Structure 1
């Protein structure tokens, strides 16, 4: 019994390809580690399956001669078992019934194992894994350079280049040369510059401190300027307007208490009974006194009459506002002091005796004591004249300066008329100075 294999044509069995010739060794100037990229060969092809059995149309060859063609078949020359050798240095022509083969890779250099890991294709395909393994890091499924799960690996030429990790070296300055010290790293802008809120808060703080300090300084300066006494020129200028800018009760109080100003240190009290309207100086003085005061000028004259607590003495106080300057007041004061004009009897001031008052009978004959003061710090001339309230005449009047001396035995001295004239004149002079802004110290007090 025969089989189909016995009648298989020997021409359909592929011969074993010959070994390709050995490539020459690389030149000495070439890098033995550099290799030409080539496709990795796949698994060897399986031998072809035996042909299907068929029934020959011709006569069956006799048994025992399987390789003898039947009679009448043209003779086929036998196929060579190996291709003719190719000339040295050339590649053999590819066979149509077999896949082309790539040239053999050059042998690895001496001293290195001929392993697959030494090829450039392996390093290009597995560079990311080798890098991560060297750094001790395991890539996850989304690591760049790794193929997604479920997809076949792509050729190394089609794979994207893995991102190399950033360098930790400091940036080099422009124009820096090797060997030069590296510039220190710059601080970020947010650390070098304060924020806008910090600047705004600092500006508000400085502005607030400045405003508070300015207000405190202004208040301090204002308080100090208000408490400080005016200059002599300012006080003298203000004294010209005291007569109409100050209430009459301030300049001539209704009641004046003198503590220890009477004879022997007795207390005195005086009550105002009449105030003359402000007027000029035409009929207020005797002609001689008017002539002596003419150099100072007369801007205004104020007068008031007081009575003591016992109603036994009357006192008229007057204040003449001069129109001269400080030099004119100083010259008039010097004249009264050097020529003793204040103690002359012919220069006594006249009393103010309005009708219908206790002072109605107070006239020239009742004048017992007097005083005249020429002030130099304010443009004011103050005078005072006293007499008995019962209307008696006084034949020997005495100036207040003499009647207040210790041991005086005259009628004006013993009755206290000299103290009355002196103390009320001091009190009115102090009121005018205070109204002009000058400090004044007196021993008298008023309720």
Structure 2
């Protein structure tokens, strides 16, 4: 009887230890998972301040190489002609686009204008740093995709003209092609809008996705204005992502 009772005690203790271990392991796993989620939220929030933390020449390089990104795989190179003072979103967005983006808030807007090396085309690129969290950016990105908002001509970004440069006459009427992207890994909306440097008005602008498609033979497509908008946006976005990742690594 004593041996059986002793066996039952040992078994009970073993179960208790095992159960405690399992609970402890689950708690540790939850703590680690929670730590990873907190780190991800912190990195996301920190990216909101990249407009201030990054040197302007890192955020908007003085020159951008676009090897093979022009029409027919031609090389492009863009030269920065001006950087706008950081400001409110209303400075760089048509009212309807500002309304669409209002759901993620506007923490800061920064812009720069580039010209190609022949000074034939000009492109303004902008970075809207949003106030929204990751879920908010996901919601806006889904809306852009579901409603095909990136291709609507009533949702064009505004240009940033630079007096005394190739972009002197780059205004609303000169907008020819554009790209608007809602990022989800960063609280940022990236956009670019391009036009001709000679100031000609454009009556029928084309989204970059359309102007860069195979077989397009419109003046906008053949001039590479869609390639300018998409190519510059690509490279500015890539630099922003690289900077965000680098700062995340440094914080670990």
Q: Same fold (TM over 0.5)?
A: yes
Retained in 2: the 8 A contact 1:370–1:422? Answer: yes
When structure 1 is superposed on structure 2, of 247-256 and 277-286 the one drifting more is 277-286
Q: Distance in 2 between matches of 1:406 and 1:232?
A: 39
The answer for the alignment partner of 2:231 in structure 1 is: 423
When normalised by structure 2's length, the TM-score is 0.81
Retained in 1: the 8 A contact 2:182–2:188? Answer: yes
Gaps of 5+ in 1: 1-229, 440-447
**Corresponding residue to 2:168 among 347, 351, 360:** 360
**Corresponding residue to 1:272 among 70, 80, 89:** 80
Structure with the bigger percentage of strand:
2
The aligned length equals: 210
Cα RMSD (Å) of the superposition? 1.5
Give the greater-gyration-radius structure (CA): 1
When normalised by structure 1's length, the TM-score is 0.46
* Higher RCO, 1 vs 2 (CA within 8 Å, ≥6 residues apart): 2
3-state SS in 2 of match to 1:345? coil
Retained in 1: the 8 A contact 2:177–2:207? Answer: yes
> Which aligned pairs between 1:122-161 and structure 2 lie closer than 5 A?
none
Gaps of 5+ in 2: 1-37, 248-252
**Corresponding residue to 2:132 among 318, 321, 324:** 324
How far residue 238 of structure 1 moved from its aligned partner, in angstroms, is: 2.0
**Corresponding residue to 2:178 among 370, 384, 390:** 370
The answer for the alignment partner of 1:379 in structure 2 is: 187
Rate the CA distance shift 1:308–1:436 in 2: closer, same or farther, 3 A. Answer: same
Determine if the alignment matches structure 1 residue 404 to structure 2 residue 234.
no
**Corresponding residue to 1:238 among 43, 46, 65:** 46
Retained in 2: the 8 A contact 1:306–1:315? Answer: yes
3-state SS in 1 of match to 2:241? helix
> Which aligned pairs between 1:98-247 and structure 2 lie closer than 5 A?
232-247=40-55
Retained in 2: the 8 A contact 1:232–1:377? Answer: no
Rate the CA distance shift 1:438–1:295 in 2: closer, same or farther, 3 A. Answer: farther
The answer for the alignment partner of 2:25 in structure 1 is: none
The answer for the alignment partner of 2:118 in structure 1 is: 310
Cα deviation 1:188-233 (Å, max 9, x = unaligned):
xxxxxxxxxxxxxxxxxxxxxxxxxxxxxxxxxxxxxxxxxx9643
